[in-house]
Amino acid sequence: MKSDGYSRKVLTLIFCLSLFNYIDRQVLYSVFPLIKADLRLSDAQLGFLASSFMIVYMCFAPFVGYFGDRIRRPLIIGVSAIFWSISTLFSGLVKNYGQLIFTRSAVGVGEAGYGTVSPSFLAEWFPVGGRARIMATYALAIPTGSAVGYLLGGMLGQHFGWRAAFFIVAIPGMLLGVASLFMKETPEKTLRSEHIPFRGYAALFKNRTYLLICISQSIGTFSVGGLAAWMPSYFVRTYGLSVGRAGLLFGAVTVAAGIAGNFTGGWAADWLHRRTKRAYFVVGYMSFFLSVPFGVAAVLASDLNFSLAMLFFAELFIFAYSGPYHAAIVEIVPVTMRSMAFALDIFILHVLGDAISPFLLGVVSDASGLSVAVFLAMLYMLLGGVTSIMAGETYKKDFHAV
């Protein structure tokens, strides 16, 4: 199937939805210092705000995945976007810590619905040979949305209070959600009417390559999720920056590195895919290994500018594996259970990743300092390189690839 004008429209709308998905998610982190002071919270309590979102997000995903392989995915995408946006709006109306946990958990419900079905829905609109680049473009919303979330959260929080940040970023998601309700289902999905039962999840556990992809992503997500939650606070505490400036600098580095990393990873995987079927995994393990020395240097640096430069290269390599691994899942899982596959992927990568890392880094920070917590998160990326190599080997054996 060749991409056409409608495919590009789908890409544009899905990218915009993903953008506000991460804006609504990450705006919380940039106003951590303001919420901490207003509600008088510890670092562990702040970290649990992020973890509560991820716990709900990952637990709800498998149920959406089951229905995502049965009903129109545009319906799930649209309703989910509207729901998470309304929940974000209510996050600005809370009166105490318990209410804030509830509203951020509700955001997790909406984003689980979207994140489960959107990758396969988007990929199926494009031919196999270019899917790594398409999925890299899709994944580009992660750093871009995160950066915008940091920027808006920091600026709006500093000038108008942290509640205003939630009010403003919620509105676009509602409008995009309504527009999504009118998208068409993909021809590939429409032609396949088989329905996989809920126990079909068991079959995914027998796919060794798929599981190793999920584990590799969980390692990256643990580190990235922890850094996303704590790096703005790290710059505030280490270099004495204001909340607004910390959000601006970290956001700028993240979006620049994200753009470079996603396009580099997607282009490299599609180019290498013409030479070896294991291209997705080669790009994967190289991105993990190359991110570590730069990340460690960013933490050990005593100069702000040098720390930001090293952080840029660390994030560039961290983001490079995202597009290839999304494309790999689409390749190794049948179309009739791709929503279930991405749902289980979401569950695994978050239950072992950023559902626990913001809280754990907060605990380490309370005990030993935030610099130690960030340093350990950087080193953990080495394990992702090892599991990525293992994924490439099982792909070669189980799918007879070279």
User: Could you tell me if 395 and 277 are in contact, meaning their C-beta atoms sit under 8 angstroms apart?
Assistant: yes
| Residue bearing the bigger pLDDT, 291 or 254 | 291
- pLDDT reported for residue 402: 55
Residue 360: exposure state from Cβ atoms within 10 A (0-12, 13-18, ≥19): middle
Query: Any idea what the Cα angle at residue 387 is, between residues 385 and 393, rounded to 5°?
Result: 110
- Other CB atoms within a 10 A radius of the CB of residue 38 amount to 12
Whether pLDDT at 1 is above 50: no
Whether pLDDT at 124 is above 50: yes
- pLDDT reported for residue 233: 86
- pLDDT reported for residue 211: 95
pLDDT digits (tens, 9 = 90+) for 134-190: 888 888 887 788 778 877 887 888 788 888 888 888 889 999 999 999 999 888 777
Token pair 């489960």 is found at: 116
Whether pLDDT at 83 is above 90: yes
Rounded mean pLDDT of the chain?
86
3-class state of residue 271 by DSSP: helix
User: Could you tell me if 388 and 321 are in contact, meaning their C-beta atoms sit under 8 angstroms apart?
Assistant: yes
Dihedral angle sign, alpha carbons of residues 245, 247, 253, 255: negative
The Cα 320–Cα 268 span in angstroms is 9
DSSP letters spanning 104-166: HHHHHHHHHHHHHHHHHHHHTTS-GGGHHHHHHHHHTHHHHHHHHHHHHHHHHHHHH-HHHHH
Average pLDDT over residues 213-242: 88
- pTM of this structure: 0.73
- Cα–Cα distance list, 263 to 140, 143, 205, 267, 302 (Å): 8, 12, 31, 6, 31
Domain ranges of the chain: 5-398
Place 227 in a pLDDT band, splitting at 50, 70 and 90. Answer: confident
Place 54 in a pLDDT band, splitting at 50, 70 and 90. Answer: confident
- pLDDT reported for residue 18: 92
- Cα–Cα distance list, 172 to 11, 23, 86 (Å): 17, 10, 11
Question: Homologous superfamily of 5-398 in CATH?
Answer: MFS general substrate transporter like domains (1.20.1250.20)
- pLDDT reported for residue 401: 57
Please give the distance of CA 383 from its chain centroid, rounded to a whole number: 19
pLDDT digits (tens, 9 = 90+) for 185-212: 888 777 765 666 777 788 888 899 999 9
DSSP helix, strand, coil percent of the chain (3-state; round to 5)? 85, 0, 15
- Other CB atoms within a 10 A radius of the CB of residue 43 amount to 23
Total count of residues recorded for the chain: 402
Token pair 């509600």 is found at: 39
pLDDT digits (tens, 9 = 90+) for 259-292: 899 889 988 988 888 888 888 999 999 999 999 9
